Each structure stands twice: as structure tokens, then as C-alpha cells.
A = this chain, B = another copy of it.
Amino acid sequence: MLMFGGITLSFIFIVLAMILGGGVGAFIDPQSFLIVIGGTIGATIAKFPPKDLIKGFKTAMLASKGRKDETNLSQLVDTTEELLKKTRREGLISIEGQTTGNDFFDKGLAFMLAAPDARSVERYLSDEIQNLINQAQRGKSVMDALADAAPAFGMIGTVIGLILMMGSLDDPEMIGPALAIALLTTLYGAILANAAFIPMAEKIAAWQSVTVHEQELIALCLLAIKNSQSPMIMRETVKPYLTHDFYKLPEVAE
């Protein structure tokens, strides 16, 4: 949400600049847009398979969603403690079907209950986390490639416009409007890169570090349950993940 909020904010100010300057109409030219976006996508699918392009956008969307369970890292640990107390009394079977509100935790819980031993749980969780890292890195690569290509094709469009304009200077009246149109591709390329692709790439990177941090904590919780660790030892183990919490930066003394 925040990502799209930010991108929308940037666009609002860009459109505001256009309106204050005289109207948005002068900035809408489907042909110019087609050329920039077409060239950019072409160059990007020359680098990555097309399905990666789609996956990149999906990852960006996923990264931009407000995470509902954003503030409850210590709640997760509390939940784990409760589950742990129950399973140490009544066995793993007693928590079957329970949910915690966190998708990764619930999915891991189900797997953990069915798994033959702690080792296979550990491998399953580390594979899941590794897959998330792969997905995020590939998504970021795609966004980086788009962010590189967009201004380049904007510039190519402008040079094409300039050459066309200069080749036919018969009517000096037309120089201004022709230049204006030539500059549109540069504008589109710059906006696409700076207000969309670069923020998306950065957002995916930020999302990756926060999500991996949370999933590593959850993995420790699930392994503690599988191993019937004492709650106190479990709390010790996950402590660094709570202290160095991405969301609880130390108060800035003023």
C-alpha cells in the first residue's frame, strides 16, 4: 500500500506541475508512450524471459502490500510459548489445526506436524526462505533492468524526434510543438524510472530483508516446538531477532 501511496504521491505532484503549467493535455501522447514502454519492455525481455517480467511486477505488488502482521514479532514469540506449553503437556497432536494469523507460521505449523523429524522441518523452512530470497532478487533485477532501459529509450525517442524536426524546418512555427513532442519521450522515460521502477526495485529489496528476518524468527519458533524446547531456551534463541527488530529502532534522543 505504502509503495503505491508513494508512487501515487509522486504522480500527483507531477500532474500538479502539468496542470499549474497549463494543462495535462500537452503531455498526453499515446504514440510517444507506446514507443518508450515498448522499447523498454523489449529490451527487458531480451534480458529475462517474459514470465520473469510478470513475476517481477507480482513481487513488487506483494512487497508493497501493507503487512497485516507487521508489529507482532513479540506476539509471535508469545504465541509460540503458548503452543510450546501445550505441546509439552499434551503432545504435538494437541495443536493440530491451530492458526496464528501469520500465513508463513500456519503453513510451517501444518508441515511441522506432518514431518517425520526436526531435520526435514529445518530443510523445508530453509528452502522456503531461500525461495523467497530468489524471488525477491529476481524481481529486483527485473525492476533494475526496466529502470535502466526506460530513460535510455526516452532519450532515443527524443533524438528521433529531434532528427525528424530538424530535417524539415520549413515552417519555423512548428519548431516549438515538434520539440515539445520530442521531449515527451524523455519525460515518460524519466517518470517511469524515477516514480515507478526505481521505487519498486528498492521496495522489493526492503521487503526481502524484513520478510526474511520475520521468517527466520518463525523458523526458530517452529523448530523449538518440534524439539519441545523449554520456553525459556526458546526465548533466548529468538532474542536477537526481537532486539534487532527492524520495526523497533531505538528512540532517537533529542
A residues sitting closer than 8 Å to B (CB atoms) are 2-14, 16-18, 20-22, 26-27, 31-32, 34-35, 38-39, 41-50, 55, 58-59, 61-62, 64, 103, 127-128, 130-132, 134-135, 138, 145, 148-149, 152-153, 155-157, 159-169, 173, 175-177, 179-180, 183-187, 190-191, 193-195, 198-200, 202-203, 206, 240, 243-244, 246, 249-250, 252-254
Q: Of B34, B46, B135, B166, which is within 8 A of A252 by CB?
A: B135
CB of A141, distance to nearest CB on chain B (Å)? 9
Please tell me if the beta carbons of A160 and B17 are within 8 angstroms of each other in the complex. Answer: yes
| A contact patch SS | helix
Residues of B within 8 A of A26 (CB): 163-164, 167
Please tell me if the beta carbons of B166 and A179 are within 8 angstroms of each other in the complex. Answer: yes
CB of A150, distance to nearest CB on chain B (Å)? 10
Closest to A40 in B: B10
* A130 to B138 CA separation, bound complex (whole angstroms): 24
Please tell me if the beta carbons of A163 and B183 are within 8 angstroms of each other in the complex. Answer: yes
* A157 to B10 CA separation, bound complex (whole angstroms): 12
* A246 to B138 CA separation, bound complex (whole angstroms): 10
Please tell me if the beta carbons of B42 and A195 are within 8 angstroms of each other in the complex. Answer: yes
Residues of B within 8 A of A50 (CB): 2
Q: A9-B42, A130-B243 are in contact. List 11 more A-B contacts (CB 8 A).
A: A7-B42, A10-B38, A10-B46, A20-B31, A46-B200, A61-B254, A62-B252, A159-B183, A163-B184, A165-B176, A166-B179
CB of A158, distance to nearest CB on chain B (Å)? 10
* A3 to B254 CA separation, bound complex (whole angstroms): 16
Please tell me if the beta carbons of A166 and B155 are within 8 angstroms of each other in the complex. Answer: no
Please tell me if the beta carbons of A180 and B194 are within 8 angstroms of each other in the complex. Answer: no
* A148 to B201 CA separation, bound complex (whole angstroms): 14
* A184 to B43 CA separation, bound complex (whole angstroms): 21
* A113 to B51 CA separation, bound complex (whole angstroms): 39
Closest to A183 in B: B163
Contacts A7-B42, A191-B156 hold; do A58 and B252 have CB atoms under 8 A apart? yes
CB of A36, distance to nearest CB on chain B (Å)? 8
